[in-house]
Amino acid sequence: MKLTRFRFTVLILLVTISGFTQGMLLPLIAILLEQNGISSTLNGLHATGLYIGVLVASPFMEKPLQRLGFKPIIAIGGILVFVSMAFFPFYQALWFWFMLRVVIGIGDHMLHFGTQTWITTASDASNRGRNISFYGLFFSLGFAIGPLMTRLVDIHPSLPFFLSSGLSVIVWGCLFFIRNEWPEQGGSVSTSTSSWYRFGQTFKYAWIAFLPPFGYGFLEATLHGNFPVYGLRIGHDVDTLSLIIPCFAAGSLLLQIPLGVLSDRYGRRRVLSIALLIGVATFFLASLLEHSVVALFFLFTVAGMFVGSIYSLGISFMTDLLPKSLLPAGNIMCGISFSIGSMIGPYIGGVFMDYVPSASFFHVVSTTLFLISLPIVISRRRELRAAQSFS
C-alpha cells in the first residue's frame, strides 16, 4: 500500500473540514445556550453528545473497514456530518440539537478513523511522525478557523451551519477521485479474532500512547465548550473570545510538523514529555493573568504550539508500539480515548465553574495535563520492546 500525493491531499482536506466543523460547533452552541439561560453544567453535558456518538460507533468500526475498505467508511461519515449540520437551524430544541451532535460524532469518528488508519498504515516508520503531523496540522487549521464563524450569527443564526454543511459537501466530493483500498490483514493477531480480544491486546501494548489523545480531547472540549462561558463571566465579550480561542489551534500550526519531525528523530516519549510539561506551566500562568486579553492571546498561542500537537504525537506513538495488524484497533482506541477526555472535560469544567466560582477555570486544565504527563515522563522503553517482540 502506497500513500500517493493526491490521495494524501484529499485525506488532509477531509480532516481540515472536520476540524472546521468541530471548531465552529463547540463554541457556537455553547454561546447560544448560555445566551438562552442554560446553566454551565447542562451546557457542558450537552457538549458530550458529539463524543457519545464516537463511543457508540467505536466498537463497530473495525469489521466494516475490513470488508468495505477505507473509502466507503469515510464517505458515509462525511454524509452524516454535512446532513446533520444542515438540520440544526430547522428545530431549536435541546434534545434535537443533542441528537444531531450524537450523529455528527458518529460521522466524524468514521471519517477520522478511515483517514487516520489509512495514513498510519501507508506511512513508513521514517516519515510517520511527519505525515501524522500534517494530519494534525490541517485539523488544527480547520479548528482555528471554525470559531471565527460564531460571528456570522449576527448576520443570520443559520448561516454558520449552512456554510459548514456546504463546505463539507464540496470536500466530500473529492473522495470520488481516489481509489479504494483495504487495511493490511495478517500478522500475529488474525483479523478473524474477537474485536474485544484485539482491543485488549492493543491496550496491553500501547496504553501509554492513549493518554495524549485523552488529554487533547479534554483540553479541546473544555477550551471550546467551557472557556467561552467562563470568559463571558469574567468580563470578556463574545468578539474577543472568538479571537482568543483560535489562538490555541493557530499556535499548533507553528510547531506541529517540527515536533513530528523531532519525534521521528529523538523519540515520541521524550517530545511528548516536554510538550506536556510546557503546557502545564502555560495554563497555570494563564490562571494568574486571565483578565488580560493580551496575556490570553499569547498564552493560548504558546500552549497550542506544544500541547496542540499531543494528539498527532500520540497517534505516532501508538503506531510505533503496535504491529500493522492491530493498527485499526489502535486508531479506534485513540478515538475512544479522545472522546472520553472530551466528554469528561466539559462536565468537569461546568461543575467546577458552578461550585467553585472563586477559582480559575485554568486550574482544571493545568492539573489534568500534569496528571497525564506523569506516566509518560517516568515511563521507559519496555513498552516498545514488548510490542516489537509481540509483532
Digit-coded pLDDT (tens) for 156-202: 888 989 999 999 999 999 998 999 988 876 544 444 456 778 888 89
Amino acid identity of residue 29, one-letter, is I
216: closest CA among 304, 142, 146?
Answer: 304
- Other CB atoms within a 10 A radius of the CB of residue 185 amount to 12
128: closest CA among 117, 138, 120?
Answer: 120
Is the predicted pLDDT of residue 155 greater than 90, yes or no? no
Amino acid identity of residue 302, one-letter, is V
Is the predicted pLDDT of residue 281 greater than 90, yes or no? yes
Query: How much is the average pLDDT of 326-338?
Result: 88
Q: Name the residue ranges covered by the structural domains of the chain.
A: 5-182+189-390
| DSSP per-residue codes, 102-114 | HHHHHHHHHHHHH
Query: How much is the average pLDDT of 269-274?
Result: 93
User: pLDDT grade, residue 268 (50/70/90)?
Assistant: confident
User: pLDDT grade, residue 382 (50/70/90)?
Assistant: very low
Question: What is the pLDDT of the chain when averaged over all its residues?
Answer: 85
Q: Over the stretch 66-96, which tens digit does the pLDDT of each residue have?
A: 889 999 999 999 999 999 999 998 888 889 9
CATH number of the domain at 5-182+189-390, please?
1.20.1250.20
pLDDT at site 133: 87
pLDDT at site 380: 62
The whole model's pTM is what? 0.78
pLDDT at site 391: 44
Q: Give the percent of the chain with pLDDT over 90.
A: 33
State the Cα–Cα distance between residues 180 and 68, nearest whole angstrom. Answer: 9
User: pLDDT grade, residue 390 (50/70/90)?
Assistant: very low
Q: Over the stretch 127-136, which tens digit does the pLDDT of each residue have?
A: 778 888 888 8
Least-confidence region, from 1-5, 145-149, 249-253, 345-349: 1-5
Burial grade of 196 (CB within 10 A; 0-12, 13-18, 19 or more) = exposed
Least-confidence region, from 17-31, 139-153, 175-189, 211-225: 175-189
| DSSP per-residue codes, 172-197 | HGGGGGS--------SSS-TTS-HHH
